Amino acid sequence: MTHSVHRRAVAVTALALAGLLAAVVPTAAATDTAAAPGAAPSPAALAAPDIPLANVRAHLTDLQSIATANGGNRAHGRAGYKASVDHVKAKLDAAGFTTTVQQFTSSGATGYNLIADWPGGDANRILMAGAHLDSVSSGPGINDNGSGSAGVLETALAVSRAQLQPDKHLRFAWWGAEELGLVGSRYYVNNLAATDRSKITGYLNFDMIGSPNPGYFVYDDDPAIEKTFKDYFAGLGVPTEIETEGDGRSDHASFKNVGIPVGGLFTGASRTKSTAQAQKWGGTAGQAFDRCYHSSCDTTSNISDTALDRNSDAIAHAVWTLSAGTTVPPDGDVYENAADVSVPDNGAAVTSSVTVSGRTGNAPSALQVGVDIKHTWRGDLVIDLVAPDGTAYRLKNSSGSDSADNVITTYTVNASSEAANGTWRLRVQDVAAQDTGYIDSWKLTF
């Protein structure tokens, strides 16, 4: 089949773009001048600070005290959870964050998400970092997940101490009712308008980052986020592995499910550390990463300070690195393929391609992938964007319960590690019998 590729960079768009570029260039030139030898670099280019372990530990002590004063836990629907929210909120308010408490109901009890926005940055490009703040009812939840909550809190406080002026807007979140099945984070994502979802360029999740017999696991999701974490640990000389102890078992899944790029860190739960893992990381082979997972012994004694320290520093590194970036014009060039491609029922994957040329550098961190697929049961479809070098970005998984028709939406892909020029493909596969459809059109907006 011949694919007709339309590059919709018509004269009006090009002129509008030129106008925007003209407006942007002086700012960029000023930034370059500021970064010249001998001059101070722009704030966003500064390296992340070392996160003081003592401060992170102090947050854990506070959370332990809250649990102890409230029947030994900080679980959804219990007094210890709301006390945890109030405690973290007060620290953020004092540091200059704009905080919001979002209420929801789960299992007959009121739940709370705490959201903290750092004023400034590009409102159209938002980097989020979060952790669940609730424990199970059987214990104080200091590793699960006081550790992630404290690491994210101390990173937010470091943003305030540095009075960071990132290019992107920064938003931190502490989720409620994760232990009941990612309830709070799903509520947050479901209540975001589609336009607001598309502004989130990435969500970083931290759930259990101080396991007492730690591993160093990086989520295998968005490639640019994953690389940011891996590079950080490589710089420390600490080997990492891909997180495999239950993909989708924490709040990043709520974001990933709607196409937001995600990543995160994890030091292991009830799974056993192998001999090879003990050789590279130390600790005890044949023992769980966290023997107190979901137990009453998940106290301040149930923490590896080394793991907590390294991971807290890694959070700050990622927040500093991923919130920097040059401003892009809001309306880019559109590359579209409107030729129909039928998708065989329960059959092989098909592709539709667009060729991008004449650009410089890499693709954007918020590449817009507009997809228009007509289908009688969209749950059958697995959809990927395939970059010119063959790297696939999963846009949508198949799902037995996704019973609507058609996929007509825009996905945001962090394609900043891909060269812009070359042939990009939309790859679609129907993996279940009966319902069928076709790619009507799709487009990339650079």
Positions touching Zn ion (CB under 5 A) are: 144-145, 207
Helix (H, G, I), strand (E, B), or coil: what is residue 293? Answer: coil
Joined together, the tokens standing for residue 372 give 């228009």
Catalytic residues: 178
**Contact stretch for ligand TRP (CB under 6 A) within 39-47, 102-110, 245-253, 403-411:** 245-253
Which residues have CB under 8 Å from 173's CB, separation 6+? Answer: 113, 114, 115, 116, 128, 129, 130, 131, 185, 188
Spatial distance between the Cα atoms of 384 and 391, rounded to a whole number of angstroms: 10
Task: Report the nearest approach of Zn ion to the CB of residue 252 (Å).
Answer: 11
Rounded distance between C-alpha atoms, residue 284 and residue 215, angstroms? 11
Closest CA to 330 of 446, 444, 416, 167: 446
CA atoms of 425 and 352, how far apart (whole Å)? 6
Residue of 245, 345, 372, 402 that binds Ca ion (CB under 5 A): 345
- Count of beta carbons in the 10 Å neighbourhood of residue 294: 16
Nearest distance from C-beta of residue 161 to ligand TRP, angstroms? 28
Local structure of residue 269 (DSSP, 8 states): S
Per DSSP, which regions of 245-380 are E strands? 262-266, 334-337, 341-343, 350-356, 367-375
Decide: is 207 part of the binding site for ligand TRP (CB under 6 A).
yes
Please report, as a single letter, which amino acid is at residue 173. Answer: A
Toward Zn ion, which CB reaches closer, 56 or 341? 56
Instruction: Report the relative pairing of strands 367-375 and 350-356 from DSSP bridges.
Output: unpaired
- Is 245 a residue that touches ligand TRP (CB under 6 A)? yes
State yes or no: residue 402 binds Ca ion (CB under 5 A). Answer: no
Q: Is 405 in the site for Ca ion (CB under 5 A)?
A: no
Which of Ca ion, Zn ion, ligand TRP, none interacts with 245 (beta carbon under 5 to 8 A by kind)?
ligand TRP
**Binding partner of residue 227 among Zn ion, Ca ion, ligand TRP, none, CB cut-off 5 to 8 Å per kind:** none
Query: Residues 52, 324, 435, 438: which binds Ca ion (CB under 5 A)?
Result: 435
Beta bridge partners of 419: 362
CB 178 within 8 A of CB 185: yes
Q: Which does 380 bind (CB under 5 to 8 A by kind): Ca ion, ligand TRP, Zn ion, none?
A: Ca ion
Structure tokens at 307: 């793991």
Q: Which is nearer to ligand TRP, 155 or 353 (CB)?
A: 155
Quote the CA–CA distance of 167 and 229 in Å, as a whole number: 20
User: Out of ligand TRP, Ca ion, Zn ion, none, which partner does residue 430 contact, by CB within 5 to 8 A per kind?
Assistant: Ca ion
From candidates 230, 249, 280, 359, binder to ligand TRP by CB under 6 A:
249
Query: Which entry of ligand TRP, Zn ion, Ca ion, none binds 435, CB below 5 to 8 A by partner kind?
Result: Ca ion
221 binds ligand TRP (CB under 6 A): no
345 binds, among Zn ion, ligand TRP, Ca ion, none (CB under 5 to 8 A by kind): Ca ion
Question: How many chain residues touch ligand TRP (CB under 6 A)?
Answer: 11
Buried b (16+ CB within 10 A) or exposed e, 124-154: ebbbbbbbbbbbbbebbbbbbbbbbbbbbbb
Cβ proximity to Ca ion: between 381 and 426 the closer is 381
Write down the least CB distance from residue 306 to ligand TRP, Å: 19
Cα angle 344, 345, 347; round to 5: 70
Binders of ligand TRP among residues 250 to 279 (CB under 6 A) are 250, 266, 269
How far is 423 from 366, CA to CA, in rounded Å?
Answer: 18
| 290, interface contact from ligand TRP, Zn ion, Ca ion, none, CB < 5-8 Å by kind | none
Distance CA 16, CA 39 (A): 34
Residue 308 C-beta: closest distance to ligand TRP, Å: 15
Figure out which of the listed residues 19, 246, 282, 330 binds ligand TRP, where binding follows CB under 6 A: 246
User: Which among 38-46, 232-240, 243-251, 372-380 is the span making contact with ligand TRP, rule CB under 6 A?
Assistant: 243-251
Q: What is the contact surface with ligand TRP in residues (CB under 6 A)?
A: 144, 178, 207-208, 243, 245-246, 249-250, 266, 269
Q: What is the contact surface with Ca ion in residues (CB under 5 A)?
A: 345, 380, 430, 432, 435
